Structure 1
Amino acid sequence: MADQGTRVALVLGTSAGGVGRHVAMLAGGLVRGGHRVVVAGPPSTERAFGFAALGARFAPVPISDRPRPLGDLRAVLALRTLRGAHAVHAHGLRAGALSAIALAGTGTGLVVTLHNAATAGGAVGAVHRLLERIVARRADRILVVSPDLGERMARLGAGRVEAAVVPAPSLPPSGRDPEDVRRELGTGDRVIFLTVARLAQQKGLETLLDVAAALREPREDAGSVPPDQAGPVRGRGPGERAPEAVFLVAGDGPLREGLQGRIDRENLPVRLLGARSDVADLLGVARALVVPSRWEGQPLTVQEALRAGTAVVATAVGGIPAMVGEAGLLVPYGDVAAMRDAVARVLADEGLAGELAGAAARRGLGLPGEREALEAVLAVYDGLS
């Protein structure tokens, strides 16, 4: 373990979600372990996550979510003050690249955790590729949340790449009767499929709406079910109709207006619930968590579903396949027919849904927690000596 009193600097950019929560978890755990911790990032992150209240010193640094030359220059100058730290641990591509530039030639050990893939094209994509090369060549250690990110960094010349441990915080137990939750939601006897996501481009929510629309139409071609997912439907007698589904989306974001407009125009069985603090309640009444994302690393919502024993229907992208295993049905991103068939199987086959739920609970028991995450980063910091 790192020596008690070691100064660790955690650096992050603009965040309102998982990255900020992860940094807050690390900061609090390191402080409790006797380490001196500085968190450097935009003032908005301190307001959102309260690093100072956890015992860390907060240093305001203007790391934005997109290139801003003057702001980036100020960020580099501010980050140079961290050169006396035993370890600087940056979270995210921009925070990592700016830290690498600031610490060049100082001998300060730099660790970068990449939480997301750079999926943009055009000029923004070109900037991202440049930042990736900077991180790959200058960071001492790179931690990645999915195998594809690790392979990309290795191709770009990174020396030491390892898997990151990014656990979801434990959800407080629901404590509510599922029937009370259903009555409050007004779903009647429809089967609930839940999506927990920011309403943003990465989350692939247009695919979710396509699936909701497709489920209302008679299926013309059964051949789109992947061979390893084919099988008899259990739980219904001959001629008995499948139950109806309703799709609940917990989260908010810039695409809300456009999504709601389509839901209203097409009268889709989809409800946008907005940001919710009762995810444990929602998972308790959902037959499955549906994740239609373009890309994910170690999504906190999937970890929460596994711990709750909730089946998963998701795209086979990023770190999802390794996390979900046999606890869900995985389909290619953007393949509406395949996702429609996977949702339809879980909707119609209660036996399959139960098997997936049992597998989810077993996988949830083996997920890493805060202790494992802290032990992992301390071992990385020790390796910088």
Structure 2
Amino acid sequence: MSPASSHSPHGQSPLRTVQVLGGGNAGSSQHVRSLAAGLVARGVRVTVCAPTDADSAYDFTGAGAEHVPIPRSSDPGSVAALRAACSNADLVHAHGLHASFRAALALSGRRTPLIVTWHNRAYAEGPRAQLLRVLERRVVKAAAVVLGTSSDLVDRARRRGARDARLSAVALPAPRGTLGRDESDRCKTRAELGATDRPLLMAVGNLYRHRGYDVLLDAVRAWRGLDPEPLLVIAGEGPLRAELQGRIENEGLPVRLIGRRDDVDELLLAADLALLPSRWESRSVLAQEALHARVPLIATAVGGVPELVGDAAELVPYGDAVALGRAVVRLLGDPERREALRERGVRQLATWPTEDETVAQVLSVYDEFTRPRPLT
């Protein structure tokens, strides 16, 4: 019997799963929504434990799951609330380091299997870096299996002592904006951003140090002499906004910070190039959306990016502003290369798992760690 059909055979009750999500970045939140919908369609009972605003944004209840609001990790009541929500679960699946740590605490003393998916890695320096290593070791010790969305995350889990760590690439839904958009929509978005008669470069992501935006601003000097001068637009919010805005104003950079947006797919469709300058990424949502939108991508060769994009993007070393700037100038001046990247992107998309394949793989993992459940 295939994994997709073995979760509720005759004489057994439906599998009861709890999906635990912390603050939730876009990738993990979209994955949980997709996973919940696929599991429910296969007869699995799904409860999603996540902050209220996460359900508002990703509509877990609309996917057929029960949503239990759980305070964020900083709230002292979150572990107790999670423990209560998991009381009748056959299996708990936590997404991300902090959500996994809270799930491990909530399941302490119980025999409920804990599945952990690492979608990304946390960043910290100094004493906090040591704390993160402690959390990672605690999580992998408690987990029956750790699923990493890129090979280096799997390796990281093994280094931390995971008894079982596997690659589990996840599928994200195709961005809704890739359908039904025409040239007039694209022109309208470009006009809104101030790029009617100039190249538009798009970067997306929270304004944190590891995103590499300081390097990106350094790279701007490479294209300042072009005519027309390209405009760089960064969509995202975070603690570096004031610092970045100060540099933009003091150096007169052709850059706009537009804050957090819920129309990233439309922004990408209007762009000439997408830029991903991060210190590290796993299965970058921006990279996936750029390839779906057929927008040429320039990204740092870090983490899971090379295995995700293959030859469908220009890859540069992290922290090398000169290489990043030259790649932008070279690609803007080479329409044949841009078209080649678009075509390679279409082929690369076909190598990624579908949502159905992702759900089937996760169900096969669930089957390994759950016993037959007699009807009650």
TM-score range (shorter-chain normalised) is 0.7 to 0.9
Moved >6 Å (runs of 4+):
none
Q: Is the 8 A contact 2:222 2:326 kept in 1?
A: no
Equivalent position amino acid for 1:40 in 2:
C
Match of 1:260 in 2: 245
CA distance in 2, matches of 1:53, 1:246: 38
Residue 115 of structure 1: CA displacement? 1.5
- Give the letter for the 1:292 counterpart: P
- SS state of the match for residue 272, structure 1? strand
CA contact (8 A) 1:167 1:300 kept: no
In the TM superposition, what are the counterparts of 1:219-238 in structure 2 within 5 Å?
A: none
Counterparts of residues 172-321 of structure 1 (less than 5 Å): 172=176, 173-177=179-183, 178-216=186-224, 244-321=229-306
Does the CA-based 8 Å contact 1:249-1:270 persist in structure 2?
yes
1:109 CA displacement = 1.1
Question: Partners in 2 of 1:181 and 1:105 — Cα distance?
Answer: 54
Query: 1:175 & 1:46 partners in 2: Cα distance?
Result: 27
121-130 or 77-86, which moves further after superposition?
A: 77-86
Q: 1:325 aligns with which of 306, 310, 316?
A: 310
Q: Is 1:144–2:170 an aligned residue pair?
A: no
Give the distance between the partners of 1:78 and 1:250, measured in 2 at CA. 34
**What is the match of residue 222 of structure 1?**
none
CA distance in 1, matches of 2:170, 2:104: 22
2:68 and 2:181 map into 1 onto residues whose CA distance is: 39
Partner of 1:92: 96
Displacement after TM superposition at 1:374 (Å):
1.0
Letter aligned with residue 331 of structure 1: V
Q: 249-258 vs 129-138, which deviates more? A: 249-258
CA pair 88-151 structure 1, distance change in 2 beyond 3 A: same
> Is the aligned partner of 1:39 residue 2:42?
no
**1:165 offset after TM fit, Å?**
2.8
Question: Following TM superposition, by how much is the alpha carbon of 1:250 offset from its aligned partner in structure 2, in angstroms?
Answer: 2.3
| 2:123 counterpart SS class | coil
- The CA RMSD measured in Å over matched residues stands at 2.2
Paired residue for 2:373? none
- Secondary structure at 1:190's aligned position in 2? coil
What's the CA shift for 1:366? 3.1
Q: Could you report, residue by residue, the CA deviation over 1:128-154 in whole angstroms, capped at 9, with x for unpaired residues? A: 111100112220110112222211211
Partners of 1:38 and 1:57 within 8 A in 2: yes
Q: How many residues align?
A: 356
The Cα of 1:175 is off from its aligned counterpart by 1.6
Q: Does 1:341 align with 2:326?
A: yes
Aligned to 1:8: 17
Cα deviation digits, residues 23-75 of structure 1 (max 9, x gap): 122222222221111112333333433323432222233342xxx5xx45x33
Match of 1:76 in 2: 79
Q: In 1, Cα distance between the equivalents of 2:269 and 2:79?
A: 46
Q: Which runs of 5+ in 1 are unaligned?
A: 218-240
Note the alpha carbon deviations across 1:269-317, whole angstroms, 9 max, x for none: 1122333344333333323210011211111121111122221101111
Shift of 1:180: 4.1
Match of 1:50 in 2: 59
Map Cα deviations across residues 240-291 of structure 1 (whole Å, 9 max, x no partner). Answer: x775322122233333232222212211111223333443333333232100
Query: What's the offset of the Cα at 1:16?
Result: 5.7
Q: Which residue is 1:238 aligned to?
A: none
Alpha-carbon distance change, 52 to 282 in structure 1, aligned in 2, over 3 angstroms: closer
Q: Within 1, Cα distance between the matches of 2:326 and 2:222? A: 10
User: Tell me, what secondary structure is at the counterpart of 2:310?
Assistant: helix
CA distance in 2, matches of 1:207, 1:169: 30
Q: Which residue is 1:364 aligned to?
A: 349
Q: In the alignment, is residue 164 of structure 1 matched against residue 149 of structure 2?
A: no
Would the aligned equivalents of 2:34 and 2:172 in 1 still touch at CA under 8 Å? no
Letter in 2 for 1:31: V
Q: Name the CA distance, whole Å, in 2 between partners of 1:120 and 1:54.
A: 34
The letter for the 2-side match of 1:186 is G
| Contact 1:313–1:328 (CA under 8 A) maintained in structure 2 | yes
TM-score by length of 1: 0.85
2:111 to 99, 107, 113: 107
Conservation of the 8 A alpha-carbon contact between 1:14 and 1:44: no
Moved more, 348-357 or 241-250: 241-250
For the 8 Å contact 1:315–1:332, the answer to whether it is kept is yes
The aligned residue for residue 126 of structure 1 is: 130
What per-residue deviation string (whole Å, max 9, x for no partner) do you get for residues 103-134 of structure 1? 23422111001122132112322221111001
Query: Could you list the runs of 5+ residues in structure 2 that have no partner in the other structure?
Result: 9-13, 371-376
Q: Determine the C-alpha separation between the residues in 1 that align with 2:189 and 2:242.
A: 26
1:96, distance to aligned residue in structure 2 (A)? 0.9
Contact residue 268 and residue 295 of structure 2 kept, 8 A: yes
CA–CA distance in structure 1, aligned partners of residues 88 and 265 of structure 2: 42
On the 8 A contact 2:39/2:46 being kept in 1, the answer is yes
